[in-house]
Amino acid sequence: MQQQQQQQQLELQREQLQLLQEQHQALEDQQRAGARTLEQPDDTVLKAAYCTGVISAEVKKSRALQSAAATLPPQYVEIAQKEATEMVDRDEAKLERVEAYVNQRAATLQPAPLNGAVRQGQEDWSQISAQTASCDSQCPRPTKDTIKVTTACHARCGEESDAYQHTKICQRLNFLPY
C-alpha cells in the first residue's frame, strides 16, 4: 500500500515536473519576446509564498522531532520515529507543492512581496510557540497513560494563538488551483 502511494506521488511529481518545464519554456519565450515588466503577485501567489515560509519552518521542526525521537525510552522510539518520519514526508510534499506554484510564476513577478510573504510565514510559525508557552506549561506531562490528553492539550494551546489562525491556510492548501 505504501509502495503504491509512493508510486502515485512519483507520478504526480513527474507530471508537475513536465508542467514546470513547459511553463519554464513559455517564460523563456516570453522573455525573448521582450516582456520584462514585473507584475505584482496576486493573492494566491502571496498565500503560497507565505505558506512556503510556514511549511519550511514545519519541516525544520519535524526533522528536529525525528532526531529527538532517538532519545526517548526504548519502548517509544520506534513509534515516535515512525510518526516523525511521516510528518517530515507530509511536510516536504506540501513544501514542494507550494514552492512549485510560486516558482512557476516568480520570474514575472516583483520579488519583494514574495520575499516578504515568506518571511512573514516563518515569523508567524515562530510566534506560535511564544504565544502558546504559558498555555503549554499547564498541560500534563506526557506519560504512557496521559499522552493523548497531553497531545490534545498542546494542540488546543496552539489553536488559541493569533499566529496559528494565520498559518491555518497552509494546512490544506485548498486555495491553490491544483
Q: What is the pLDDT of residues 94-126, one digit of tens each?
A: 999 999 999 999 989 999 999 999 999 999 998
Q: Which amino acid is at 38?
A: L
Cα separations (Å) of 55 from 17, 68, 139?
A: 20, 20, 25
Q: Cβ(44)–Cβ(175) under 8 Å?
A: yes
Q: Cβ(66)–Cβ(135) under 8 Å?
A: no
- The per-residue pLDDT for range 46-95, each reduced to its tens digit, is 999 999 999 999 898 888 877 777 777 777 778 878 887 888 899 999 99
d(CA 76, CA 23): 46
Helix (H) or strand (E) holding 6: helix 2-32
Q: Cβ(45)–Cβ(109) under 8 Å?
A: yes
Global model pTM greater than 0.85: no
